[in-house]
Amino acid sequence: MKCRYLSYSYGDLIRCSNHRDMLHNGILPAEFCGQCPYSKPVDFFSQTEALLRADPNDYPAAPKTCSTCQQPKQRNAVTQFVWPYWHAGANADELRFSIRSVNKFFDGKALCTVVGDRPPWWSGHVIDCPRIPAGPNRGFNDMVNKMVTISSHPEIHSQFVWMMDDIYFLKPVTLAELKLPRAVLYRESRGNSWSRRKSNTMKLLRDKGRPNHDYATHLPHVAEKEKLAAIVEEFDLRNNCVLWECLYGNTYRSKPYSVRPFFARLTDPSSSVKTIAQRTHRATVMNHLAECFTPQMREFLVTLLPESVKEESVETGFVPDLRRKRTMRKSRRPPVKRRPKAHT
């Protein structure tokens, strides 16, 4: 049997490593390599001792696995993150830090895509989708219109992660962790336009015999483009303003897990950066109400995510407009009754 590792240079023997490799891999006894001058009969114990002394670098490291699903981490595949966005309605530059958080904490290669209009500081991938004309429920209908665009646009990958500009990763996270279904218990309410929309969505699901898990949690959602397109057609989302995430989750996902402690949602403005850190210290993903994007919240995000992404530019003298949106409430003070003026 000829040694496949035997090589010559100017007629002289340079090297043969067949003997070591056969011992290492347990392919053949050493004496079978008849042409190898380095081959010597070796007994079992000598072979075992050589194997135990083998260089650890000869053994490739096993791929790291996700702590949740125990599957190898997908580091080479590109995952697309999609933000439906309307710049004129943005609350300062939340999107900037949402994209930074994906760039810093997502375990894999990410393509960040904005669906809507381009922020002046962003030079990355944008799919133009103008805001719908003025009309009733414009905000909700515009979001649904962008989801319809996402379901059919050729620049959207077959699988993507749906985001919002006020969703931030706070710790390292894998695609497998994002795929894990998470929902909250649905409680029927029709107190405002959002809850009425959710109620209508759940009724559509019940009519089709599907569960009513509340997936409208402000968490990222991993979705498949083909399945989203099927939801668009089945529930006629072009003409029906309902919550796509509840329709999708209750149609295609298994029984969900709790959102806690993976997710933290801040609903009242915090007085300090320390308070925000304390409220989110166990969470991997954070979201907040519009009025919670205060100077303290921005300072917390700047400290956590100081590095710009390559597609991001900062204008000279840029100062974020930290607008705090307030809901107008009717005064609960009873009207003051005044006596009519006396006629003279």
pLDDT digits (tens, 9 = 90+) for 164-191: 999 999 999 999 999 999 999 999 998 8
- 288 and 188, same structural domain? yes
- 54 and 82, same structural domain? no
- How far is residue 264's CA from residue 65's CA, in Å, rounded to a whole number? 25
- 222 and 167, same structural domain? yes
> 146 in a domain, yes or no?
yes
Give the rounded distance of the alpha carbon of 252 from its chain centre.
18
- 177 and 41, same structural domain? no
- 143 and 12, same structural domain? no
Determine the pLDDT at residue 172.
Answer: 97
Conformation bin of residue 108: beta by default, left when phi > 0, alpha when psi is -120 to 50: left
- How far is residue 302's CA from residue 160's CA, in Å, rounded to a whole number? 27
- 88 and 38, same structural domain? no
Could you tell me what percent of the chain has a pLDDT over 90?
Answer: 61
> 186 in a domain, yes or no?
yes
Q: What is the mean pLDDT of residues 313-320?
A: 65
> 224 in a domain, yes or no?
yes
- 156 and 16, same structural domain? no
Determine the pLDDT at residue 89.
Answer: 87
- 187 and 51, same structural domain? no
> 282 in a domain, yes or no?
yes
Q: What is the mean pLDDT of residues 80-106?
A: 94
Determine the pLDDT at residue 50.
Answer: 55
Q: How confident is the model at residue 27 (pLDDT cuts 50, 70, 90)?
A: very low
On the question of pLDDT at 289 being above 90, the answer is yes
CATH number at residue 201: 3.90.550
For 225, the enclosing helix (H) or strand (E) is helix 225-234
- How far is residue 303's CA from residue 296's CA, in Å, rounded to a whole number? 11
> 234 in a domain, yes or no?
yes
- 283 and 246, same structural domain? yes
For 14, the enclosing helix (H) or strand (E) is strand 12-15
pTM of the model: 0.72
- 238 and 171, same structural domain? yes
3-state secondary structure of 40: coil
Which range of residues forms the domain containing residue 11? 7-58
- 233 and 162, same structural domain? yes
On the question of pLDDT at 342 being above 70, the answer is no
Determine the pLDDT at residue 148.
Answer: 96
Q: How many domains does the chain have?
A: 2
- 39 and 87, same structural domain? no
> 215 in a domain, yes or no?
yes
Q: What is the mean pLDDT of residues 218-235?
A: 97
